[in-house]
Structure 1
Amino acid sequence: MAPLPDYITETDASTKSIESVDSTMHATNPHRESMNRLHGSESISQHVVFEVAEQANVQPNELPPLYDFIDPDALDTVVASNPDLELSFSFAGYRVTIDGEDSIQVREDD
């Protein structure tokens, strides 16, 4: 397993979390949650932006930059090199959970 960047902390043997800054952006439907399987040639970080934009009912370019919350290159590298990793972080008022390379879950951040 590849070493984890400093901003990722191990919470137990199977779960990792990324410390991040919250935003003030909110969903139009706070009870809506999405979970999508990853597919296609987009990177994990691109999928995150598209999924959060869909959940927020905005265009991806209307969201704040992902790099204001997490390093997109590090995110792609960590997920690609640790396929069994579960990772959660805040982005644009949403909680994003990545389950390895298989799925992204997006819900309004508490």
Structure 2
Amino acid sequence: MRFIVPKRFFHFTMDRSHSISQQIVRLVADDSATEPDELPPLYHSIDPNALETIIESMSRGHVQFLYAGVTVRIAADGTVELTANAPLGSTKSSGD
């Protein structure tokens, strides 16, 4: 038996009218069919100012953190990967 955790990929295009933090909150909210104000504050997971600074200056690599039950991974090329952190055993697949 193996456990499958769904991953979703998005290409992150900077919208200079909103902060990176606001965009991440909106992306997680949209993906989970939740209103942004129903999610916990981002600062409970990561310092939003530090996130802004790192993403704006990043030329390679990635930043990864857990937010609202989702692992958020932001690569230097703008790709955002969301991985749901389902409780162990909640999504099952038969096999190996």
TM > 0.5: yes
Q: Name the amino acid aligned to 2:13.
A: L
DSSP-derived class of the 2:74 partner: strand
1:36-85 C-alpha deviation (Å, 9 max, x unpaired):
32232122212210111011110111100000110000000011112323
Aligned to 2:6: 31
Residue 67 of structure 2 is aligned to residue 91 of structure 1:
yes
Q: Does the 8 A contact of 2:14 with 2:20 survive in 1?
A: no
Unpaired segments ≥5 residues, structure 2: 87-96
TM-score between the two structures when normalised by the length of structure 2: 0.73
Of structures 1 and 2, the larger Rg is shown by 2
Give matches, 1:38-77, under 5 Å: 38-41=13-16, 42-77=18-53
Quote the offset at 1:108 in angstroms: 0.2
TM-score between the two structures when normalised by the length of structure 1: 0.64
Q: Name the amino acid aligned to 1:79.
A: I
Query: CA RMSD of the aligned region, Å?
Result: 1.9
Distance of 1:82 and 1:33 partners within structure 2: 22
Aligned to 1:82: 58
Q: Does the 8 A contact of 1:80 with 1:101 survive in 2?
A: no
Unpaired segments ≥5 residues, structure 1: 1-29
Aligned to 1:18: none
Count of matched residue positions in the alignment of Structure 1 and Structure 2: 81
Q: Name the amino acid aligned to 2:36.
A: P
Q: Percent identity?
A: 32
Q: Name the amino acid aligned to 1:70.
A: I
Q: Does the 8 A contact of 1:90 with 1:96 survive in 2?
A: yes
